[in-house]
Amino acid sequence: MPDFIQLLKKRIRFLAISLLLAWSITCIVLWFLPIKYKGETTSVPSSAYASDPNRLFSKQIQQLYSPLGSPDELDLLVGSGRLDTVYRPLVRQFNLVKHYFISDLGEKGIWRAVKQLKKDAKVYKSEYNELKVHVWDTDPVLAADLANALTARLDSLHRDLMGRQNQQTRDALQKGLSRLRGSDSLPFAQKLQQEIQYLGFIDQYTLLLEQRPSSIQVLDPAVVPVFSDKPLWGLTLIAVTILTMLVWLVASLWMARRTVYELSPDK
Decide: pTM greater than 0.75: no
For residue 47, the model assigns a pLDDT of 67
Query: Mean pLDDT, to the nearest integer, of 209-227?
Result: 84
**For all residues of the chain together, what is the average pLDDT?**
82
Spatial separation of the C-alpha atoms in residues 91 and 9, rounded to whole Å: 57
For residue 170, the model assigns a pLDDT of 80
Spatial separation of the C-alpha atoms in residues 151 and 138, rounded to whole Å: 20
Cα separations (Å) of 60 from 13, 52, 102, 159, 230?
Answer: 77, 12, 56, 25, 51
Evaluate whether 217 touches 43 at the Cβ level (below 8 Å).
yes
Nearest by Cα to 222 from 90, 81, 41: 41
Q: Is residue 156 over pLDDT 50?
A: yes
For 244-255, letters b (16+ CB in 10 Å) and e give beeebeeebeee
Q: 221 by DSSP, 3-state: which?
A: coil
* Tens digits of residue pLDDT in 82-106: 999 999 999 999 999 999 999 888 8
Spatial separation of the C-alpha atoms in residues 120 and 195, rounded to whole Å: 54
**Residue 160 or residue 260, greater confidence:** 160
Query: Mean pLDDT, to the nearest integer, of 210-236?
Result: 86
Q: Where are the beta strands (DSSP E) in the chain?
A: 37-45, 121-125, 131-137, 216-220
Q: Which of 98-107, 115-124, 190-199, 218-227 has the lowest mean pLDDT?
A: 190-199
Q: Is residue 149 over pLDDT 70?
A: yes
